[in-house]
Amino acid sequence: MKRRSVKVVVVVLAVMVLAAAGFFVWASSGVLPDGALATVTVYEAPAAAPRDTLTVMTYNIGYLSGATNNRAVPRPPALFSQNLETTVEMLSAAQPDVVAFQEIDFGAARSYGVQQLDTLARRGGFHAGAAAVNWDERYVPFPGSWPGLHFGRVLSGQAVLSRYPVRAHKRIALERAPTPFYYDAFYLDRLAQVVEIDVGQPLVIINVHLEAFDAATRRRQAAAVLGLYRRYRAEAPVILLGDFNSLLPAARATFAPEDSASFAGDRTLDLLLADPTLREAFPESAVQAQDPSLFTYHTENPTVKIDHIFYDATRLTQVEAYVVAGPAPPSDHRAVVMRFVMRGE
């Protein structure tokens, strides 16, 4: 009898292990084929007429979760509905010709199945959108939380909306950070999204979301992105923008390691700025002065600027740049806007 009980326990344990392994494989597997990870959609709004002065925006939208992003807290549908309306109002006020999004959902369970890109495109009157998926999982648990707060089915990524036609779109996966296999299986891809837009002449947008936690990986990703910038600027003016998870050198110099350990010793943006053609949208004097109006993260109490717009200063002339602030922000990041003039060939 005792031997039989032991056998039953062994069988039960084996079944539990197999079930857990099966769930792990199922949950961490994606649904989309490779050909569906980078797409271009043309919406009903007509393409804008070419002009010399244009406006570009970069925004880590945090899947419209507001200040609750990366927190194990309940998120009711009303939160996302309100944040969507706030974002529509923001786009209406800024009137960007091109918007680069990071952390935007394409119908994920955590944001109640709303296709955020298509909704913002239609509400904002954009002509075309390019979507690059970087997170396609059947079920994503939220670390340290009960199942009711898990993300579930996740379909998310980076995207570019344009009032002009999109002529080409590439999704380029960057180096992954070293993580345990059980974490890596659910971890998103870090991407460089390259979008060529016809604004009367070609304009290349490189939309990035660099590694947040491992500085060495982030620097190597930046080196790869710099290579892309140099390759594409041989053909057309280039704007490099997104969430770099890094401070500008002038801003980093004002931080002691004990104030912000995640930025200590990080030279990611130094690498980009070493290129003589590449310039950041804000003057170094403002960055050095730690002007609070330039901070982009965290919106509850912003203290750093990690979202940036860089541009080819040999072909584009900046007119103005600002960070969008306001009450009840729809993300844990603030958007950055730059208006510029196309010099032409």
The whole-number mean pLDDT for each consecutive block of 10 residues of the chain, a chain of 345 residues, reads 63 62 66 93 97 96 93 92 97 97 97 98 98 95 80 95 98 92 80 98 98 94 98 97 92 57 75 96 78 89 93 96 89 97 75
For residue 90, give both structure tokens: 């923001």
pLDDT of residue 174: 98
163 alpha carbon, distance to own chain's centre: 20
Instruction: Show the CA angle centred on residue 204, arms to residues 200 and 208, nearest 5°.
Output: 150
Count how many Cα atoms sit within 13 Å of the Cα of residue 46 in the half-sphere of its side chain: 3
pLDDT of residue 11: 62
* Residue ranges covered by each domain of the chain: 1-30, 35-342
For residue 181, give both structure tokens: 């296999």
SS3 assignment, position 184: helix
pLDDT of residue 259: 44
Q: Is 93 exposed, middle or buried (0-12, 13-18, 19+ CB in 10 A)?
A: exposed
Burial 111-146 (b: 16+ CB within 10 A, else e): beebbbbbebbeebbbbbbbbbbbbbbbbbebeeee
> Whole-model pTM?
0.93
Minimal CA–CA distance to 97: which of 345, 341, 343?
341
- Which CATH code fits 35-342? 3.60.10.10
Minimal CA–CA distance to 20: which of 187, 188, 182?
182
- DSSP per residue over 236-282, as a string? S-EEEEEE-S---HHHHTT--TTT-GGGTT--HHHHHHTSTTEEESS
Count how many Cα atoms sit within 13 Å of the Cα of residue 272 in the half-sphere of its side chain: 29
Q: How far is CA 16 from CA 6, 22, 77, 138, in A?
A: 15, 10, 35, 20
pLDDT of residue 146: 76
Minimal CA–CA distance to 163: which of 92, 114, 228?
92
- Residues with Cβ within 8 Å of 47's Cβ and at least 6 positions away in sequence, in order, are 127, 128, 163, 164, 165
pLDDT of residue 149: 87
pLDDT of residue 153: 93
pLDDT of residue 17: 63
